[in-house]
Amino acid sequence: MEYPILNNVRAARIIRSRRKTLALVMTADAMITIRAPLRMPLTDIEHFVTKKQPWIVRAQQRILAKPKIEVSKEQIGEYRQRASELIPPRVKFFAEHMGLNYSSVRITSARQRWGSCGPHGSLNFTWRLMLAPNEVIDYVVVHELAHIIYRGHGPRFWHIVASIMPNFKNHKKWLREHTII
């Protein structure tokens, strides 16, 4: 269902599924996808969006203010090759330092995530990380390795990250301030 405006917020769509909670997802083009339970009344969804409107507006302004970087197909190939050469050794280094085992490292073309950790220790990193400084790449590697120990983003998770990379907040900020293309 398309909703161009919902309570003065640009909303791409509402996706209803067999979930129990409401969620907002911000896309790279600053549109909102609202994920809602199947039978939730539209008035409840509108109330939720109204309550979250200050956050939505700030997040949309932040995304729309960021410059977009254009990358050619040739450059993508070069970045992917560099990522394949740089990231696996960094994963190996930090995994050994943290005393962890992982199953694989893949370089992806993800647009919404810098990295991810699968349930069996498979680590994925977007080639777009090659646009970041090396210490930021290291932070993403440590972040994903920490998910092997702790799946969520609770205090225990951040304690693990901080024990390896005490200044991680600077790197996290850099990632927030830069758009994934």
Closest CA to 123 of 96, 88, 156: 88
- The pLDDT tens digits for 139-148 are 999 999 999 9
Separation CA 171–CA 114 (nearest Å): 12
Residue 62 clears pLDDT 90, i.e. is over it: no
Residues 6+ apart with CB under 8 A from 162: 168
CA dihedral of residues 65, 71, 77, 78 (deg, nearest 10): -80
Separation CA 158–CA 142 (nearest Å): 11
Separation CA 111–CA 143 (nearest Å): 18
- The pLDDT tens digits for 8-48 are 565 568 899 999 999 988 877 788 889 999 999 999 998 99
The phi and psi torsions of 23 (rounded to 5 degrees) equal -145, 150
